[in-house]
Every structure is written in structure tokens, then in C-alpha cells.
Amino acid sequence: MTKINDLDKIDLQILSFLMDDAKMPYTEIAKILFISSGTVHVRMKKMEELGVIKSSNLHVNYEKLGYDITAFIGVHLRNSNLYNMVAKQMEAIPEIVNVHYTTGEYSMFIKIVCKDTRHLRTVLHDKIQKIDEISRTETFISLEESIHRSVRIDIDDESNNNPVE
């Protein structure tokens, strides 16, 4: 497992800049940190190979594209050891944007984005609830997302030996 010790302060600073603005050019980061843009590129490649960086994504305003409903669905599985099988089946449902294996009342918690309530009903009834391993679901419609951010990395605490995930 990658540990924070596998990364130095420069790595964490680069990561922090890109977590704030993924479109920030490497040349700009290099100027701020007084290093070459090649160094930024090499360090980014290293963090990808270590699995620290899984991907880079756009934060899209789905409403502007006609997707007005964001919902969270608590999923009860017939047996919790079916999680991997069900998660694999959910990959084929394009409206599902996040899947989490959870503790507590639900075996899984998923996030979906739909155009309207009719679309939501279709996704629930014709796609999600058709998965045999699901015993029941509970849907929560989001009224507003107030915060969407990455976790702040503590760059100055070099005694931190927690795993980076």
C-alpha cells in the first residue's frame, strides 16, 4: 500500500494544486514551485504509477445538460457477498455515477443522475431493481449539492504515516 512517506512535499504540493484546479498547466505549477515542468510531469507519472492518482475528471453541471435529478439509492442485497457481482452489473447502467460498499443499513449506496422523475423511475424499475441479487432499494432525491471538493492534504505534517488512498 502506498504511504504518505512515498511522496515528498513537492509531490503533495503538485497534487494539491491539481486537486484545486485539474486544468492548471504543469508550467504554471513549475513556476510557483521553482522546478521544471518536466519535473512536474515525472512526479505526476510517479503518483499515477503508485495509484495515488486514479484519474482526472471534469465536474459537470448536469442540470445544464438536461439532467435535473440527482438521487442516492440505498441498496439491500440478498447477501452482502454479492457486492462485486452487483457492482459489475451496475457498471452497465450509465446513469449510475458512484457505487459504494457500505456498513449500516444498506449493503450498497449509489448515486445516479437522471433527466427527470420519469427517467429516474425507469432506471430504478427497468435497470436497478431488475438485478436479481437486489432485494430492495430506498431512494433519496437530492435537492441541492452545496459542497463538492477534494479533501485537503496536510502538506506540512511530515510525521503523517497514514496510507494515501
Q: Is the pLDDT of residue 71 over 90?
A: yes
CATH 3.30.70.920 residue ranges for the chain: 62-142
- Of the CA atoms within 13 Å of residue 33, those in its CB half-sphere come to 22
Q: How far is CA 101 from CA 22, 115, 120, in A?
A: 27, 26, 22
Q: Is the pLDDT of residue 51 over 50?
A: yes
Rounded distance, CA 11 to CA 155, Å?
9
CATH 1.10.10.10 residue ranges for the chain: 4-49
Fold of 4-49: Arc Repressor Mutant, subunit A (1.10.10)
The predicted model scores a pTM of 0.80
Residues 102-160: pLDDT tens digits?
A: 999 999 999 999 999 999 999 999 999 999 999 999 999 999 999 988 888 888 765 44
| CB contact at 8 A, 106 and 138 | yes
| Residue 165, pLDDT score | 43
Fold of 62-142: Alpha-Beta Plaits (3.30.70)
Mean pLDDT, the chain, integer: 91
